[in-house]
Structure 1
Amino acid sequence: MKQLCVLFFFLTLSLQAQFHISGTVRESLTNKPLSYASISTPEGINSVTDVDGRFDIASKTAISALNFSYLGYYKNTVKLVKNINHYAIFLFPKEDNAKYVLAPNVNPALAIINKAIANKYKNNPQEKLKSFEFKSYNKLIVSAPADSISSSIDSVFVERNSGRKFKKVDSSSYKIKEMVSKHHLFQTEKVSQFQYNNKALKESILGTKMAGFKRPIYEVLAFNLQSFSIYDRNYELFETKYKSPIADNALIDYNYKILDTVAINGRKSFMIYFKNKKESRAKGLEGVVYIDQQNYAIAKAVMHIKGVLDISGTHEFDYLEAENIWFPSSKTFKIVKGKNDDDIKILGGTIQFDGDVEENFKPRKRTASDYTYLYSESTNFDIKYNTPTQFDHEFIAVDLNEEAIHKPKSFWQQYRKDSLDIRSQKTYLALDSIAIKRNIASRLRFGRKVINGYLPLGFFDMDLRKLFSYNNYEGFRLGFGGVTNERFLRDFRISGHVAYGTKDNDFKYNIGAAAQVDRTSNSWLGFAYTDDVKEIASTSYAVEKKPFKLYDPRPINISTFYNYVSWKAYLETKVIPKTEAVLTLDQSLIEPKFNYQYILNGQNYSQYHMTTAMISLQWSPFSDYMQTPDGRIESEKRYPKFTFQFTKSLTDVLDNDFDFSKIEFKTEYEKKYLNGQKTNLLFEGGYANGDIPLTHLYNTSPNNITKESVIQRITFASKNSFETMYFNEFFSSEFVYFQFKHSFNRVKILRKVKPALVLVSRMGWGDLQKPEQHSGINYKTLNDGYFESGIELNQIFNGLGLTAFYRYGPNQLPKFEDNLAIKLSFVLKLGL
């Protein structure tokens, strides 16, 4: 989601307004920038400088003067001069400035913050008001200041052994300059109705308009750039959560300082600067909160993050005298390109950063992407509160219907706060024309399908996973498969595949069809017939969508499969809030393709029938969902997620041979840190009860082959497998599995050698009931537990990496080298 927004690139702020003033505020003696200096105008505008002392003020009416103030400095008033839009301001420190350097134990800002924390529940509209609703107009643009972009056309050279060679002419900056001098790079508008009741806030989009697209990109509309409330324990900015400066225990993490006192809506407020105490590369959230001197509510807030991206969110409020609270009136969001040593590649394009240098160690030339910016502004109106407010599907965060996509011109004239300027008007005309000429909608559709593993061919999407694979049983598996798409029929699909194994010399195939029974909940009812093979004792969740990989390394060394001939009826649905579910009824003939017999009641089974019913469900309680004309989508994926699956054999139904039940559970949690590191936790368990063959038990995903030396065992590492566990070494009828991963930032060793260090630990326990029923294969159980830890050095060169894992604990083998697994890794970056 965040990457889709980054696709529209990074920014320096350039507001579209009739009057636009910018500049810097510095200390006169040291020339150091003054962060968060207070700025006001006689016309009632209040603003602050950013962390670098810069300011950028826009107004729809003329500004006569700017008043600058900062605690411990003399105030400065500057009268504006016509045709001068940039000002360098200097403030002089007072002679008694030392008295403003206050010890933490007498810091008056702490007393004010403590009162704001103590009163936040009665000042929070979502706590004090029973209900409220309002309409909001939002406009988002991606653009660039044309006068900052070079219009030169450069020759690009590459270094060869024989010297520099001409490669191509680069006119990209020239083309972007020509474009942004006439119109924006991207623009979208929407009018929404927000409703709050029963602790739930819902957005219903009344109208939307997106330049270049007949149908909007749903993810852009649903993207929550900043929190609605600044009273929550965590404040979210650009998909990252930070502890709020007025959280109950905020004083542990933040330092505070009074900057000034200003009047907002005729009420005096303290300007309190806050900053994270941690002195690190990622300094976290900082900014200014304006706290009402009477009720200690927040009257305005400026939230800021400075790092690879320079991001800020501003919240404005209106005072509701009848309720004695401040209610959100508008908010703005901006991203300014920060500094970083790495380029970012997005869909074939490269975004460079100021920290980069060329091979001759000279600062690189700034390109058009350095100046590209994104700016979003929302204005609230028609505010009503403490009146009956009802809405359906409270778990849906954003609701968009077909009617909202096709609003007439009169709708926008009614709801726009200001008429579009000439540049914005030209944006719709230009981008609509460009989209038709370059077939943007089809290219976007094509890109989405390819990223998900499908190649669209007219009314049919070819499944790229089915083309080619390899394993020790089938050899090279060559195939073709896919599914019909919306160009065939919107509410009906036909799917299938056919494959041939060069080692087993056998064909496998599948054919199926499904009809959509409810578009709102994405409910599909279907059936399928399959004759194929599957790895024994593997665990798969029917509800999970397998991520697309150009290759899947783990099956390469698997030789134990079973054949299944299956009739299956199924229902896919999202009707239960914040869940996806699959229900199946399956009748299969199972034939192990290795030396194995299952013994039950004195009878040996080398093949057997299974009739089962299954429910597979994934619950994402912390994710946000959006209802669109094309169905329900998970607009913001958040952790933890929980996956549950239950399978029950149906006794005496369609020649079923065994009576058993299986239950599996998995939960995954992921935490991203401000410094770019990431921790991932995975817990999984399974329990099988009754009479069940080895083919349908658990192997806890081994990924090591039985060879004499470490070198001979070098293969590709998988994602969540035991890299030191040998294939078919352990089987279980009940197991638990835990994995810990921590990813560090990439380390630059050489110009093109930047490995990503990942520390991994895995552990598992299990047991096997009724071992006497399984004949023909040797194995062990996990009663004493299994442990391995390792290091991954991923993306050392062109996506290739190296991993090393070591096995220890009760199941450690006598020889040191048998416990060691060295693997190759490969990480493919598609730019998303």
Structure 2
Amino acid sequence: MRYIYLFYLTLFGALSAFAQTKVSGVINDESGNPVPFANVIYANSSIGTISNDDGSFYLESDQNFDSIQISFVGFKSQSLPLTQSATYNITIVLEEEASALDEVVIYQGKTSKKNNPAIDILKKIWENKRENGIYKFDQYQYKKYEKQEFDLNTIDSSLINSRIFNGMEFIFDETDTNSVTGKTYLPIFINEAIYRVYGNNESNKEKEVLLGNKNSGFSNNQTLIAFLKDLYKEYNVYDNYLKFFDKSFVSPLSRTGINVYNYVLADSSYIDNKWCYKIVYYPRRKNELTFKGDFWVNDTTWAIKKIKLAATKSANINWIRDIYIEQDFDVLNDSIFLITRDHFMSDFAFKKKDEARGVYGKRTTLYDDYAFDIDRGNQFYNNDREQYIEKVYNRDDSFWAQNRMESLNKDEQKVYKMLDTLKTVKAFQRLYNIGSILASGYIEFDNFDYGPIFSTFGYNDVEGIRVRAGGRTYFGRNDPWRIEGYTAYGFKDNKFKYGLSGKILVDDRSRLIISGGNRRDIEQLGASLTNTNDVLGRSLASSSLITVGSNTSLTNINLSTFALEVEPLKNFQIRFGGSYRTLRSASDKFSLAYYTDENQTAIKSEIDQTEISTIFTYSPGRKTTGYGVERTIINDGDFPRLFLNYSLGVKDVFSSDFEYKKIQFYYRHPWQLGGFGKLTTTLEAGKTFGDVPLALLNVVPGNQTLFSIYGAYPLLDFYEFVTDTYASVHVEHNFNGRFFGRIPLIRDLNLREIVAIRAVSGSISDENQALNASYSNPVLLAPNNKPYWSYSLGVGNIFNVFRLDFHFRGNYFENPGARKFGVTGSFGFYF
């Protein structure tokens, strides 16, 4: 999904709003140092903001005000008159106060954790948070209206006159300033959706039914809609951690909040006839995933009435310059506070400098029509299979007029009209096509996509330079069938290779899919422990442009497959397949030869093998988009995956050589550990029953490339360890800058520390050893005396896109050519 993120980051833009009073500036102390997290409000109102890390602020309202008030603990409050509707770039100097402001606000800088009335109130919130909102009921349901918008911000003459917008200048006719940042922005995209949400707190299950969806210019695009929905995940401010953009921010209402936030009791007042306290909070340290802002809390239920959260600019998160959140809650039956409005705004930008151009992403969610304790039974929630209903994406105007919980303003209505016009402009079509290539890796033609373009070039020691051309049929996002294929040519071996596959969706409810294909190519079989007979699959190890040492241990493969796949339960797939493959060495420096008689006098160098398999795959929490034969995963790497494969080698069918049984298990689980980062654990185990030669054994995956490949052992050469019974574990933890963020100078680089450890134990039987007719390359060796292990120390987020891993071998130094140390790297666009 990282390419989709890049695509929409460069393509989308801003929404217009009208305001009557605007003011911006910077707040300093008497020494000229900025005062971060100071309160700025319009006089005699509750409309305000908090200054940024650098003391800057922007405040806007659609009402008229004649002055603002500035205050911060330890400083004298100050009032500043406003003589005009827009007052920009003012400098405010706060004087330190010699004595305490009053008995309530007595803190300066870091607030005390003791004798602090704000923290006393916070403890009341912790005690009562499970007694508030929808959690108070066994079952709940409500209606939800969601509006998502993208705006291009920091509009100036250089952008307007840019060649990229030649022929599209009319889109700049309407611009305005953002009410949070004060930046000029231009609207370009809007998506609306209506849902009915059902939940059961007893079984902890929830079901969301889409009633209608509409967007500007990209109608019926489920991939875009699902991507946006995953980008702006649902969250609960009462949780200890709030996950945005794959990062866990500490909630100001968290039980651990007192360790990372300062809290000040700033005010008290009636809000909707409820007496509430206002608490201001701000971070204790820089570079942590924290917020600044304030919240109002009721004095009897200790429920949140209003809350504002703004991410600090020093937070260790990429491509995000600002995050701003507002939530409002209403009272049901005079006691239960339910969320009624949630507004989320983020500012995407390649640079965090204020003058840098970026894209606003906004989501406004409204909640209404609550109902409780209506039991719908477990079957209602278990039947959560998504189906494509065309009318849901093509609702008429009367549906939206009836179901919108707030009307579109004039500027939001203009977005729909503008995109309709833009689609007819050739310049926009070119821009859209470029973004589409980045997002999918394919170049689109009428009913055919060429690609993936990222696989065009490769290199290995057998083929030399390798070029590849391929494509797939594409009639729409929900195609019930698809054919794809490729051809490749190696300039060293002067041979053509190819692959061709097809699949058809027979039943969309059970997702019964029939597939088959044939491939003749060169492959690195020793690149994965747990693998399947994928017709078009190819590992990075097979054609990496940069390698460590020579890579001649490649295999010529002629593979034909046929399979039936079904999904009886959501995210649980069963695949029945059969395959026939011919395997032989692709190099005279590598041998797959084996003995065919007990006296070891007859040798065969080619293997013909028929195999049938049953594969079970379960991915709880996986989110996909698309209703056709192929679906796109939108939360890749964010859910556990369990894989079980039982294979049966059949002898003498199509001249098949061996009879055996093989079982393989794979379990990968990412764990979000709140402020401690993300832990990823992987376990693999397998066993082959029966006597088989090298080509059918399990090779511990080495890595002779300079790229970090998850699941591979970076200091092992290909075929360094070969097993018929194995167990492997890989543990990797990304601390997300928790320690680097506390080291002066280094913390400003926003680096992220990563540690990993890998271990594998396995054995190979004497019978399988005896089958091997090669005495040099490879020598069959298994890590059976003791587990082989290595560890890695990594530094991520270098220049926001690069990661370096430093690997250290733990044992088996006596192996021929054993590498004790190595460095690999990888590129990626991560938040």
TM class by shorter chain equals 0.7 to 0.9
1:285 aligns with 2:291: yes
Moved more, 175-184 or 191-200: 175-184
The letter of the residue matching 1:766 is G
**Following TM superposition, by how much is the alpha carbon of 1:188 offset from its aligned partner in structure 2, in angstroms?**
0.8
* Change beyond 3 A, Cα 1:581–1:29: farther
Q: Could you tell me which residue of structure 1 aligns to residue 101 of structure 2?
A: 97
CA shift at 1:576, angstroms? Answer: 3.1
Please name the residue that 1:621 is paired with.
Answer: 620
Partner secondary structure for residue 415 of structure 2:
helix
Letter of the structure 1 residue corresponding to residue 143 of structure 2: F
Of 726, 730, 746 in structure 2, the residue corresponding to residue 735 of structure 1 is 726
Q: Report the alpha carbon displacement of residue 117 of structure 1 after superposing the two structures with TM.
A: 0.8
Amino acid at match of 2:332: L
Report the Cα distance in structure 2 between the residues aligned to 1:437 and 1:18, rounded to whole angstroms.
Answer: 32
CA 488–638 in structure 1, closer or farther in 2 if over 3 Å, else same = closer
- Gapped regions of structure 2 (runs ≥ 5): 177-184, 314-319
Q: Which amino acid aligns with 1:774?
A: L
Q: Is the 8 A contact 2:160 2:169 kept in 1?
A: no
Of 765, 770, 773, which aligns to 1:769? Answer: 765
1:406-421 aligned at under 5 Å gives the runs 406-421=394-409
Kept in 1, the 8 Å contact 2:39–2:49? The answer is yes
Contact kept in structure 2, 1:804 and 1:820, CA below 8 Å = no
Counterpart secondary structure, 2:424: helix
Deviation at 1:567, TM superposition (A): 3.5
Equivalent-residue separation in structure 2 for 1:20 and 1:755 (angstroms):
40
- In structure 2, what is the equivalent of residue 316 of structure 1? 328
Checking the alignment, whether the CA contact within 8 Å between 2:672 and 2:679 is kept in structure 1 is: yes
Alpha carbons of 1:622 and 1:263: their partners in 2 closer, same or farther (altered >3 Å)? Answer: farther
Contact 1:520 1:632 in 2 (8 A): no
Deviation at 1:301, TM superposition (A): 1.7
2:198 paired residue number: 196
The equivalent position to 1:571 in structure 2, one of 564, 568, 572, is 564
Opposite residue 59 of structure 2, the aligned amino acid is: D
Aligned residue among 256, 265, 284 for 1:258: 265
Alpha-carbon shift at residue 66 of structure 1 (Å) = 7.4
Q: Which residue of 2 aligns with 1:136?
A: 145
Deviation at 1:128, TM superposition (A): 3.1
Answer whether contact 1:470 1:556 (CA < 8 A) is retained.
Answer: no
> What residue in structure 1 maps to residue 244 of structure 2?
237
Amino acid paired to 2:670: Y
CA distance in 1: counterparts of 2:563 and 2:670, whole angstroms: 29
When residues 773 and 447 of structure 1 are mapped into structure 2, their CA distance, relative to the original with a 3 A threshold, is: farther
The verdict on how the C-alpha distance between 1:765 and 1:569 changes in structure 2, with shifts beyond 3 A counting, is: same
Q: Deviations over 1:157-202 (max 9, x none)?
A: xxxxxxxxxxx99999x96994553993323131312413223344
Q: Which residue of 1 aligns with 2:689?
A: 689
Query: Which letter does structure 2 place at the counterpart of 1:482?
Result: G
Contact 1:205 1:400 in 2 (8 A): no
Aligned residue number for residue 471 of structure 1 = 460
1:741-767: CA deviation from partner (whole Å, max 9, x where unpaired): 5778899x9xxx999997665433221
2:700 aligned residue = 700
Q: Is the 8 A contact 1:74 1:94 kept in 2?
A: no
Deviation (angstroms), 1:634: 3.2
Deviations 1:811-830 (A, max 9, x none): 11399x8534666x675668
**Could you tell me how far 1:654 is from its partner in structure 2?**
2.8
Where in structure 2 are the equivalents of 1:141-540 lying within 5 Å? 141-144=150-153, 149-150=156-157, 178-181=172-175, 184-198=186-200, 199-216=204-221, 217-225=224-232, 227-277=234-284, 279-307=285-313, 309-321=321-333, 324-336=335-347, 351-354=350-353, 366=355, 369=357, 373-388=360-375, 401-438=389-426, 444=432, 447-448=435-436, 452-463=440-451, 464=453, 467-477=456-466, 480-486=469-475, 490-499=479-488, 508-519=497-508, 523-539=512-528
Output the CA distance in 1 between the equivalents of 2:142 and 2:364: 19
Per the alignment, in what secondary structure is the counterpart of residue 782 of structure 1?
A: coil
1:535–1:560 CA contact under 8 A, matched in 2: yes
Tell me, what secondary structure is at the counterpart of 2:369?
strand
User: What's the CA shift string for 1:20-53, capped at 9, x where partnerless?
Assistant: 54456969978865736385787x8655435457
Distance 1:436 1:34, change over 3 A: same
Secondary structure of the residue that 1:722 maps to in structure 2?
coil
Give matches, 1:73-112, under 5 Å. 83-84=85-86, 96-97=100-101, 99=103, 100-101=105-106, 103-112=112-121
Q: Relative to structure 1, is the Cα distance of residues 501 and 224 closer, same or farther in structure 2, using a 3 angstrom cutoff?
A: closer
Q: Is the 8 A contact 2:291 2:310 kept in 1?
A: yes
C-alpha separation in 2, matches of 1:795 and 1:112: 38
Superposed CA offset, 1:468-507 (max 9, x none) = 5443445555554433222699322223344455565655
> 1: distance between equivalents of 2:336 and 2:641?
39
Stretch deviating more after TM superposition (771-780 or 694-703): 771-780
CA distance in 1: counterparts of 2:802 and 2:287, whole angstroms: 28
Q: Decide whether the 8 Å contact of 1:25 with 1:34 is kept in 2.
A: no
How far apart are the structure 1 equivalents of 2:12 and 2:437?
A: 29
Among 551, 567, 575, the residue aligned to 1:558: 551
Q: State the AA in 2 paired with 1:781.
A: A
- The reply to whether residue 35 of structure 1 matches residue 27 of structure 2 is no
Which residue number in structure 2 is paired with residue 724 of structure 1?
Answer: 715
Alpha-carbon distance between aligned partners in 1 of 2:88 and 2:800, rounded to the nearest angstrom: 45
- CA 1:190–1:559 in structure 2 vs 1: closer, same or farther (change >3 Å)? same
Aligned-pair identity in percent equals 17
- Give the AA of the match of 1:639: D
SS at match of 2:423: helix
**Deviation of residue 674 (structure 1)?**
7.9
Count of residues paired in the alignment: 771
Cα-to-partner distance string for 1:566-622 (whole Å, 9 max, x where unaligned) = 432113455532356644222334455625215587796734543323244554434
Measured in 1, the distance between the counterparts of 2:458 and 2:613 equals 28
TM-score normalised to structure 1 length: 0.77
1:657-672 to structure 2, matched below 5 A, reads 657-667=658-668, 669=670
Amino acid at match of 2:561: K
> Per-residue deviation at 1:684?
3.4
1:363-400 CA deviation, whole Å, 9 max, x = no partner?
xxx45x16x53433222233333345579566969887
Change in 2 beyond 3 A, CA 1:187/1:399: farther
Does residue 641 in structure 1 map to residue 640 in structure 2? Answer: yes
Q: Is the 8 A contact 1:319 1:325 kept in 2?
A: yes
For residues 725 and 152 of structure 2, what CA distance do their matches in structure 1 show? 57
Q: Deviations over 1:778-797 (max 9, x none)?
A: 22221223234567789999
Distance in 1 of aligned mates of 2:552 and 2:15: 61
RMSD: 5.0
- Structure 1 unaligned regions, length at least 5: 155-167, 338-343, 345-350, 356-365, 705-714
- Is the 8 Å Cα contact of residues 566 and 587 (structure 1) preserved in structure 2? yes
Q: Matches of 1:300 and 1:570 in 2, distance apart?
A: 55
1:801 positional shift: 9.7
